[in-house]
Amino acid sequence: MRILHTSDWHLGRITDKEPRFADHVAVLAEIAAIARNEAPDVIIHSGDLFDHPRPSYKDMVKASEVLRELAQTAPVVVICGNHDSPDLFRFVASWLGPDSRIRFVDRPVKSADGGILNFVGADGFELRLAVLPYVHPNRIMHAYEDANDLRKRYAERVSAMQQALAEELFRGLDPQRHVTAFAGHQYLSGADLARHSTSPHVRDRYATEAGDIPKVGYAAFGDIHKPQRLPGAGVVGRYAGSPLELDFGELGEQKSVVIVNLVPGAEAEIRLVPLTSGRRLWRFKGTMDELRAVAPTITDQLCRLEVITPTPDPTLSEQVYALLPNATILDIAENPEDRRLQVADKEREPGAEPSLQDLFVEYLEENGTSGTAAQNIPPLFAALLELGETDDTTIPAVAQVEELLAKPMTAEVDEEDAA
């Protein structure tokens, strides 16, 4: 029994205001070609078909085209992810009908109501597939509940759902004929979020445990965009991951689809097929000379750039676009060196509290200034601090502040000083 596992397409995604539709067209065509070549018996999509619960007409048409093309190779099961609309999935399922080779699973259901699906492969083995779409916390939590109990109760409830599915999944199992799989859309505790755009400390509240997954031949999971094995050693399975680098948290990840061969009584044989279509993301930080050196290697990537310059350069954008004519420039951030304070390291006595001046200088070192030469700011700040510590308005500090404010505060170099 051969399974093709894909996930997290996120049709409709926009990366830094750049629509990814053309990239999806390319990579989904690649997935369809892989399906034709691999000839799976079942295709599992483990959630987040769309990026929004109300996808555009164009994205729904594309999803329909690709799923129908995949269904010409093998039956397709699509479970609802946290970005998908259960109502839309329910409508599409009713429209397709029970005999369709495309099966949309919109919500968690009991085994007798569609929680267990059965498929017969070309080798004569029968796959029993338990499906558990994304379980929204609102289905489990109650108003005014103690926040400390949320994660525990959510994990316990999801675990109970999985155990109920497992009881039916393994009832009457013929070890010579049946193979088993589980498809879910969950964040499992211990999964590698890498630089995922969703904050880990928020997601941990609703994490579930890998040890609670039914002990199936293969567990097909969605939700985490970084392709990876499921955490722990309790069950064999993978997060298929997204087919494209959807945001810069996924920079550098090798995307793929998962091919799984299941034989009764044997461990699953898992193979990754790399995906190469669609534009990649690229981030650059360095000087213009460094950019010129790498520019010949950049083709059609989506680029974020931070360019370090001696002083502000009004022609910087023109230079960057000329160097990268085929790339899509998402953002160019200029980082002039004269707006970032450079000071020698100062040793502070152990345990000594930094002064306000020390903290302000550290801020300028890290964040720089906007429109003003950084070296002009600390003397003014120190004079203002001194002035603020007394009610005497006749002290020399007032004159010092007035003198400093009278100076040009731009980052431009004075010609007389330069001479």
Half-sphere exposure of 349 (CA within 13 A, CB side): 3
Which residues, including other chains, have CB under 8 Å from residue 161's CB and lie 6 or more apart? 108, 132, 135
User: pLDDT value at position 359?
Assistant: 76
Nearest Cα neighbor of 5 from 193, 228, 194, 158 is 228
Tokens of 279: 């534009």
Q: What is the pTM of this model?
A: 0.81
The tokens of 338 are what? Answer: 């004269």
Q: How confident is the model at residue 411, as a pLDDT?
A: 44
* 286 contacts 308 by C-beta, under 8 angstroms: yes
Q: What are the beta bridge partners of residue 222?
A: 185
What single-letter DSSP state applies at residue 234?
Answer: S
Torsion of CA 152, 157, 162, 165, to 10 degrees: 170
Cβ neighbour number for residue 73 with a 10 Å cutoff: 19
Residue with tokens 């609703």: 206
- Domain spans in the chain, listed from the N-terminal domain onward: 2-274, 279-339, 350-419
**Per-residue pLDDT at 389:** 67
The token pair at 369 is: 């200034």
Give ∠ CA 179-180-185 in degrees, rounded to 5: 155
> What does the buried/exposed string (b/e) look like for 168-187 if buried means 16 or more CB atoms within 10 Å of the residue's CB?
ebeeeeeeeebbbbbbbbbb
pLDDT at residue number 195: 60
CATH class of 2-274: alpha beta
Query: Sign of dihedral through CA atoms 376, 378, 379, 381?
Result: positive
What pLDDT, on the 0 to 100 scale, is given for residue 200?
46
Q: Which residues does 252 contact at the CB level (< 8 Å), separation at least 6?
A: 245
- Averaged over successive runs of 10 residues, the pLDDT of the chain (419 residues) comes to 98 96 98 98 98 97 98 98 96 94 92 86 94 84 60 87 93 94 94 63 69 95 96 91 96 97 95 98 96 97 96 94 97 83 57 72 65 66 69 59 56 39
Tell me how far apart the alpha carbons of residues 262 and 189 are, in angstroms, rounded to a whole number.
26
Report the alpha-carbon distance of residue 73 to residue 291 in Å, rounded.
46
Q: What is the DSSP string of 331-382?
A: EEEEEEGGGS---------TTPPPPHHHHHHHHHHHH--SSS-GGGHHHHHH
Residue 157 is classified by DSSP as H
Which segments of 188-257 does DSSP mark as H helices, in order?
200-203
Q: 93: helix, coil or strand?
A: helix
- Whether the CB-CB separation of 15 and 45 falls below 8 Å is answered with no
Sign of the alpha-carbon dihedral angle for 298, 299, 303, 305: positive
**337, 418, 333, 345: which is closest to 375 by C-alpha?**
337
Ramachandran region of residue 318, left (φ > 0), alpha (ψ -120 to 50) or beta?
Answer: alpha
Minimal CA–CA distance to 120: which of 52, 200, 177, 77?
177
